[in-house]
Amino acid sequence: MTFLDSAVWGGKFCSDGWRHSPARQPVTEPATGDRLGTVGVATAEDVDRAAARAAETQRAWAATSPQRRAAVLRRAGELFTEHAAEIEDWLVREAGSVRSKAGFETGLAIGECFECAALPAHPQGEVLTSEDARWSLARRRPAGVVGVIAPFNFPLVLGLRSVAPALALGNAVLLKPDPRTAVSGGVVIARIFEEAGLPAGVLHLLPGDGAVGRAVVEAPEVRVVSFTGSTPVGRAIGERAGRLLKRAHLELGGNNALVVLPGADVARAASAGAFGSYLHQGQICMTTGRHIVHESLVDEYTAALAAKADALRVGDPAREDVALGPLIDRGQLERVHCIVTDSVAAGAKLAVGGEIDGAGYRATVLTGLTTDMPAWREEIFGPVAPVVSFSTTEEAARIVNDCEYGLSVGILGDVGTAMRLADRIDSGKVHINEQTVSDEPNAPFGGVKASGTGSRFGGPAANVEAFTETQWLTVRPDIADYPF
C-alpha cells in the first residue's frame, strides 16, 4: 500500500478518523478528464460536529509541551521529504502542475513544516512595565479553532501555510480544500499529520462546496478564518466574519506588475517576464499580469517575450515533457480565452498565442492595450502577458498603482532607480531584479488593497500574530489593598 493509497481515503473525509460519506465527488485529472478516485464530501452538519470536537481536543493539544508540538511538525517535514515523489505525482495529475512546479511546491511544504517546528519555542509575549508593585505580562495564547479555506492553484502549500503554524501554536484546525484539488490540497495534509503523530480530532479535513465553507466560517467554535482565493469570495468571507466578530486573514487576487527600466538586459528581462507570466499556466496570485516596459526597450522586449512564449509547449505534464499543463477546468479555460478575444476585439494586438490547445492555453503576448481593456484591468489567471510602455519613472509608478490590487511587483534594471521607484509603489511585496512570483516559508506574505488584509502568512511574527490572541496577565506577591 502506498502512502496515499485510496483504500485509506476513498469515499471518505477525515474528522476524528477517516469517515465514510454518503455524498461523494470524483477526483478528476484536468489534462484528460480521467477519474483518479473519489473523496467523501462533508455537509454543514459534519462541520458543526467537527468544530465541536476540535474545540474539545484543542485544549489538550495546547497544553502539550512545546517540544512535543515541535516534534510533530518536524516529523511532518520528514514525511513530506520521504513521500515527495508520490505527492508530486498527485500535484501533476490532479492540479495540472508541470513537474518542476510540483517539486517546487513540495519543497515549500517541507520548508513550511521545518520553519513552523520552531514556533512552539518562539517567545510568546513580552514583559511590560507597571506602575504598581506587580509583574505585568502580555502573553500570546492559541486562538482556539482555526478555519482554513484553501485554493486549487498551489493546493498543498497554500493550505499548509495556515495549517502548520496554527497547529504549531496550539490550535485545532478545520481544513476545507478546493473541491478540484481535494487530494493534493487536503488528503495529503491529513495523512501527513496523521502519520506524524498529531492527536485525532485536532485536524479535520472537510471537502465540500460553498455551503461547507460558509459552515466553517460560521461555526461558533471557529475564532480565526484563513482564506486564500478570489477577491469576490474573500470580500464575502470578510463581511460574514466581521458580523460574527471573528478575525479573517484574507490572501486574495493580484494583477501584478513587472517594470522593465531603461538599460535593462532585455534577454534576461524577457526570461524573467516569461517565468512570471507562464509558470503554472499563470494560475498564481503572484503571476506577472502586467508588463510595463520603458519605451526605449518595449519593441525589443516584446519580440523577445513573444519568442519565449512561442517556444513553450502545452500538453499533459503527467505524460509529456511540457512547459505548460492544463488549466484547472473548462470554465477557467474559456474565461481566459474570452478575456483575450474581448481585448483583441477592443483593439489589442496579439503578438503570439491566443489559442486554446486541448485542455491548455498557449502562452500569449498582447500589445497595443489601453487601461480599460479586460486583459489589462482584470486578474486573468491564465498564461497571458499584456505589455505597455512608459517614458518616465513617475509614469511607471502611476501605471503600477492604477490597479485595484496590490500584491507583488517586480522591477528589473538599475538598482538605484528601482529603489526609488519601489518607495512609490503600493504593494505587499516588491522584488528588485526578480519577477513577481516568489515565496519563502520565513518571509511575510500578503497584499494590500483588493489583494487582501496584509501580511498574515510567513515568518514567526506574522504567524504568531495570525493564530494567537494576546492576553494581559498580572501577578503580585500578595492580595492588593482596595478602598472598599
Annotated catalytic residues are 251, 285
DSSP 367-386: ES--TTSHHHHS---SSEEE
Q: How far apart are CA 440 and CA 148, in angstroms?
A: 20
* Residue owning grid cell 496554527: 166
Q: Is 325 helix (H, G, I), strand (E, B) or coil?
A: coil
Q: Are strands 468-475 and 408-412 parallel, antiparallel or unpaired?
A: unpaired
Nearest alpha carbon to residue 359 among 387, 386, 311, 319: 319
Q: How far apart are CA 169 and CA 162, in angstroms?
A: 11
Burial degree of 243 (CB within 10 A; 0-12, 13-18, 19+): exposed
Q: Is 254 helix (H, G, I), strand (E, B) or coil?
A: coil
Q: Are strands 172-176 and 203-205 parallel, antiparallel or unpaired?
A: parallel
Distances (CA, A) of 299 to 52, 256, 290, 309, 368: 60, 21, 16, 15, 11
Tell me the Ramachandran region of residue 109: left when phi exceeds 0, alpha when psi lies from -120 to 50, beta otherwise.
Answer: alpha
Q: Which residues contact 39 (CB under 8 A, 6 or more apart)?
A: 9, 10, 11, 12, 13, 24, 25, 27, 182, 183, 186, 187, 207
The set of cell numbers assigned to 37 is 478516485
